Amino acid sequence: MIGADRVHADGHFGRGQKVAVIDSGIDSTHHALNGGQPDGKACFGPGCPISGGFSFVDDAGNEVSSTNPFANCLEGWHGTFTSGLLIANAPDRNFTGIVPQAQIAMYRVFGCHPQDTGDDLIIAAMQKAYHDGADVMSMSIGRIDAWHGSLPVDQMATRLSDLGMHMVISVGNLGRFGAFQAECPANTPRIISVSSVQNNVLQGYTARIKSSQIDREVVYYAANPLAYNKTSVFDIYATSSELDPLMDACKPLPASVSNLTKSAVLIKQSIDPTCRPYNQRNTAMAKDARVILSYGSSTNPILAAGETNGHGIQLVGLSHEDGIFIKQALKTGSKVSIDFSHPQSATVVDKQFGGLSSRFSQFGPSWDLQFATFLSAPGGNMFSLLPVDLGSYGIGDGTSYSTPLVAGAIALYRSIKGSKDSPLELRKILTTTAVPALWNKVNGVVDSVARQGAGVINIHNAIHSTSRASQDYFALNDTRHLNGTQQVTITNVGTEVQRFKMQHQTAGTVHVLDGSPGYYFRKGPLDAQSGQHATLQFTP
């Protein structure tokens, strides 16, 4: 999707580059991170893929000064996941990071409990990474502050960029809240802020849906085959009798529902911002559910199994089509079960959502109308590493995962082209060779630059580019104070004559509306058979 496979085919894997990762720590005992040794044997320091780093907090979140950023706890998985996208080497799963021959240094600023970190720790980590000699810095971290580059952490990012550090920072995952949700330090003017598109392929395994009348193979989307206490067959319990409910398992289940430990609980993934997947998970867990089948909507990407596994519950994703099929089978009154006993690995091309901008990606611009996103990369339904104690592999969504891919792409570029391009010069190369992402595949509308920036990075295009642009974006300000006259100089740095043509490509419009009165309904039509009903829920 980003051209890295073509660069790998040419024999380039990022050798000689060092990427600093500011995150939650890392499991240096993972066989995909420890140089191919068995799980449990740590490799950390010079000569190892994880060549260094520092921990500013311990597991309890207390401030410390430790040279070992090891973390394998539930809330410490994030840094292992992002690092896997950079340097993983896992032939057992045919999984390779974008720069498997590069080195990373992990700077831990989060403990093992859900909590914020401090700007002081982040700034300290940024400074140490610079003084430790990193070439690129990957930061999947941020918080809402929509003024452009106004905080101390923003100023530090700018300063490091001016000193030659390639700063790559995630834009955040609050796309459901609409425009003007820029995060810091991603909205800093001299760095590369990264949005997300959906992965083109979905990782999964086969299972069978069975009843007295049916026997159908389905693919469930998960990083690992499902296994729960050696049980492989579960009766399916649906939390709603409706085929396509808007808000499923968003409220406590009825008291009449007994223990669901031995059932696979079928839930339709909610698209309502007030009912998130973790709300649905908690509803099922309140009845002791341990296996959840989450089927997607016809308008939203499938939710594959991710870090939910660490909560003692296994969640797998199903397609909208398979979810509806199971619901229809249950409506006949027959007992319907799912059999996980003979899983076969399967990859499915996501024809509906693959390559589209991720719905969770945060929108800019900043409050002073500056760009909050420069590039996009795959971040939806991404396969990567988890700490060994949490299952070794997982699938997750977030701009946290598109960010290390862009950081790795920069390391890949530098390993081939050298260090002559400054951070801003290289950003121009990457943005002007990116491929715009679509909002949808029905009418081919390109997504707004307020979310995707220039588009999806293509590192092969960047490496072989023979043109250079003096500007990578135009900030036009507002309508009343329009900066309507802009200038760009394009330079031919190749050996052959090039012809340039100016063209305007229409993108989708983003409306900014009052967020207090809200409604959501499916336009339909809805067909209600005899004895059935259709429900409309809204807030006037």
pLDDT at 307: 41
332, pLDDT greater than 60: yes
Least confident of 74-83, 102-111, 272-281, 476-485: 272-281
Over residues 404-415, mean pLDDT: 99
Q: Give the list of residues 6+ apart from residue 48 with CB closer than 8 angstroms, or none.
A: 28, 34, 35, 103
Over residues 213-241, mean pLDDT: 91
Over residues 248-277, mean pLDDT: 90
521, pLDDT greater than 60: no
Q: How far is CA 158 from CA 51, 154, 170, 489, in A?
A: 26, 6, 15, 25
- Cα–Cα dist 84/53, whole Å: 16
388, pLDDT greater than 90: yes
314, pLDDT greater than 80: yes
- Model confidence band, residue 39 (pLDDT cutoffs 50, 70, 90): very high
Per the model's pLDDT, the better-predicted residue between 147 and 477 turns out to be 477
pLDDT digits (tens, 9 = 90+) for 167-217: 999 999 999 888 888 888 998 889 999 999 999 999 999 999 999 999 999
pLDDT at 309: 46
287, pLDDT greater than 90: yes
| DSSP sequence for 9-36 | HTT---TT-EEEEEES-B-TTSTTTTTS
Q: What is the CA radius of gyration of the chain?
A: 24
Over residues 418-439, mean pLDDT: 97
Cβ-based neighbour number of residue 237 at 10 Å: 21
Joined together, the tokens standing for residue 109 give: 């600023």
- Model confidence band, residue 150 (pLDDT cutoffs 50, 70, 90): confident
Taken in order of first residue, the domains within the chain and their CATH numbers are 4-198+353-432 (3.40.50.200), 201-349 (3.50.30.30)
**Helix, strand or coil, per DSSP, at residue 138:** strand
410, pLDDT greater than 50: yes
- Model confidence band, residue 296 (pLDDT cutoffs 50, 70, 90): confident
Over residues 209-231, mean pLDDT: 90
Active site residues: 23, 78, 400
Over residues 117-134, mean pLDDT: 96
pLDDT at 227: 77
Per the model's pLDDT, the better-predicted residue between 217 and 478 turns out to be 217
pLDDT at 538: 60
pLDDT at 311: 64
| DSSP sequence for 330-379 | HHTT---EEE-SS--EEEEE-TTTTTSBPTTSPP---TTS--S--EEEEE
Q: Give the list of residues 6+ apart from residue 339 with CB closer than 8 angstroms, or none.
A: 207, 208, 209, 210, 232, 233
Least confident of 224-233, 334-343, 426-435: 224-233
Over residues 347-365, mean pLDDT: 92
- Model confidence band, residue 1 (pLDDT cutoffs 50, 70, 90): very high
- Model confidence band, residue 308 (pLDDT cutoffs 50, 70, 90): very low
Per the model's pLDDT, the better-predicted residue between 528 and 160 turns out to be 160
pLDDT at 522: 58
